[in-house]
């Protein structure tokens, strides 16, 4: 239910932050202006007694987010990868939210596993450990298969997690609606569409069968990627609320001391994380969209191991080309081309001035390229871009939300390994390789060939389609005297498609 009763949930959010002492800490971490800090504290203080108490042993912000529930924990997980936004100390505190939340009972987990698999747990596993990791939606147990003795990881959803997320998302929808109603200027950001996108992502996480399928597809795409590993799904021991996979042995990517002790080169690892993500996003259009340190390990041979595939991102070929051209334009400092790409993709309204937009983008890019490597930040770039797009009336692109968010998270992970990493220098070879492959004569030939294949499938139906169109045009339609033009466009379209077919066949035969 997305009605006014959600005001209570939002009031409780502010009250919880005030009661746990997180309000002041969070406002300071985000460098909030002093007047706004004072206003927030004054508004929240009268309701302080309504807030959740949380675990007093935890730091204030972690305590508040943990008490408020899984959706808020997800936000904290993202911020844990952004020490440049919230500070190094706060980021370190928030890492607890990645995989060190309070677990639920191992007996409850065993009961769920037995019910899901339809057989006693002793018949499947000869050993089943206490939780080794606990996150906002599920927890993981280390187990041994009775039949083979193989060590596996068993992921089990938290009891009642679906209802908990439903409450949070309903409150977010209500807040988004209120924002749109009270601030017309915010409508270009499409807050309700953003929440709808988030809801779709979360629903995918709440069905472990979908996560198993995502892992399988991701594994097929990346099987030849050097320096990258994925655990393999045990399909016969997985279901909606339980997922079993091979055990991933390695050092947590968030433990720099352990990485150093194991003799791994953190500079190489930081570059590999970023380049792997860009390869998956641009080459495959399918990427791990929750790449924080809690979901990554380093194997003994230096390979990066990824797991937890509840949130995966997908972008189509056209969007990948647009994204790559924008990145490539910034790397080459060709701001006019970056501006043109925004207009060609329809990201900026056509009534705006492309040259003026290019100058605004130059104001975004040049200061960043003038910085030391430690100051070059994707987070800052996106913040500056937000200001520019607001000025030029650009709407939020919901299909890019997950991509942009993951890019920021991955940059945070890479910088936690090597604070001096230059993201543009590391990204350049990947983006250039994709540009050469996807934009140019070979790409045009491939596109024409795809058109020919479509024509081949619909070829037998074309005569009937044309005949139906002609019959329709021959019928009198007094309300539309310009209709004969439609027949000309019909024949023009058929001729164009036939021309593309012949051209594409000529290219591939030649």
- Catalytically annotated residues: 290
Which H, E and C letters describe 437-489, residue by residue? Answer: HHCCHHHHHHHHHHHHHHHHHHHHHHHHHHHHHHHHHHCCCCCCCCCHHHHHH
**Token pair 């988004």: residue:** 176
CA dist., res. 100 & res. 98, Å (int): 6
* 8 Å CB contact between 251 and 294: no
Q: What is the dihedral of CA 365, 370, 375, 376, to 10 degrees?
A: 40
Strand partners, 154: 141, 244
* SS3 at position 196: helix
Note whether 126 and 145 are within 8 A (CB). Answer: yes
φ and ψ at residue 233, rounded to 5 degrees: -80, 140
Contact in structure between 189 and 18 (CB atoms under 8 Å):
no
Residue 388's Cβ-count burial label (10 Å; 0-12, 13-18, 19+) is middle
């Amino acid at each position: 239910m997305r009605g006014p009763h959600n005001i209570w949930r939002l009031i409780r959010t502010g009250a919880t932050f005030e009661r746990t002492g997180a309000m002041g800490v969070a406002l300071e971490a985000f460098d909030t202006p002093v007047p706004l800090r004072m206003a927030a504290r004054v508004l929240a203080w009268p309701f302080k007694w309504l807030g959740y108490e949380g675990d007093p042993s935890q730091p204030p912000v972690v305590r508040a987010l943990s008490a408020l529930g899984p959706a808020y924990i997800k936000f904290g997980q993202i911020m844990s990868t952004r020490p440049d936004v919230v500070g190094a100390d706060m980021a370190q505190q928030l890492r607890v939210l990645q995989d060190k939340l309070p677990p639920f009972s191992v007996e409850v987990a065993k009961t769920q596993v037995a019910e899901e698999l339809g057989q006693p747990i002793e018949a499947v596993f000869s050993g089943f450990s206490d939780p080794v990791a606990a996150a906002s939606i599920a927890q993981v147990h280390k187990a041994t298969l009775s039949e083979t003795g193989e060590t596996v990881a068993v992921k089990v959803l938290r009891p009642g997690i679906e209802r908990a997320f439903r409450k949070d998302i309903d409150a977010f929808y209500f807040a988004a609606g209120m924002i749109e109603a009270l601030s017309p200027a915010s409508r270009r950001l499409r807050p309700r569409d953003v929440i709808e996108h988030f809801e779709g992502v979360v629903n995918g996480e709440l069905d472990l069968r979908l996560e198993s399928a995502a892992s399988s597809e991701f594994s097929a795409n990346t099987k030849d990627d050097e320096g990258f590993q994925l655990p393999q799904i045990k399909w016969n021991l997985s279901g909606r609320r339980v997922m079993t996979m091979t055990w991933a042995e390695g050092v947590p990517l968030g433990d720099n001391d352990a990485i150093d002790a194991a003799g791994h080169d953190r500079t190489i690892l930081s570059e590999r994380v970023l380049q792997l993500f860009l390869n998956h996003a641009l080459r495959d259009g399918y990427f791990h969209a929750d790449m924080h340190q809690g979901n990554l390990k380093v194997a003994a041979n230096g390979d990066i191991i990824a797991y937890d595939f509840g949130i995966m991102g997908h972008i189509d070929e056209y969007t990948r080309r647009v994204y790559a051209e924008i990145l490539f334009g910034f790397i080459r400092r060709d701001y006019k081309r970056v501006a043109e790409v925004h207009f060609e993709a329809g990201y900026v309204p056509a009534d705006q001035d492309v040259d003026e937009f290019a100058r605004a983008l130059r104001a975004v890019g040049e200061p960043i390229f003038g910085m030391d490597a430690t100051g070059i930040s994707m987070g800052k770039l996106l913040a500056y871009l937000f200001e520019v797009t607001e000025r030029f009336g650009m709407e939020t692109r919901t299909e890019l939300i997950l991509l942009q968010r993951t890019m920021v998270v991955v940059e945070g992970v890479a910088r936690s390994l090597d604070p001096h990493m230059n993201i543009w220098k590391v990204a350049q070879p990947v983006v250039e390789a994709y540009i050469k492959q996807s934009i140019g004569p070979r790409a045009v030939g491939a596109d024409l060939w795809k058109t020919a294949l479509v024509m081949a499938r619909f070829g037998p139906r074309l005569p009937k389609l044309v005949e139906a169109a002609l019959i329709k045009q021959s019928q009198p339609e007094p309300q539309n005297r310009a209709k004969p033009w439609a027949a000309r466009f019909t024949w023009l379209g058929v001729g164009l498609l036939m021309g593309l077919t012949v051209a594409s066949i000529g290219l591939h035969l030649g």
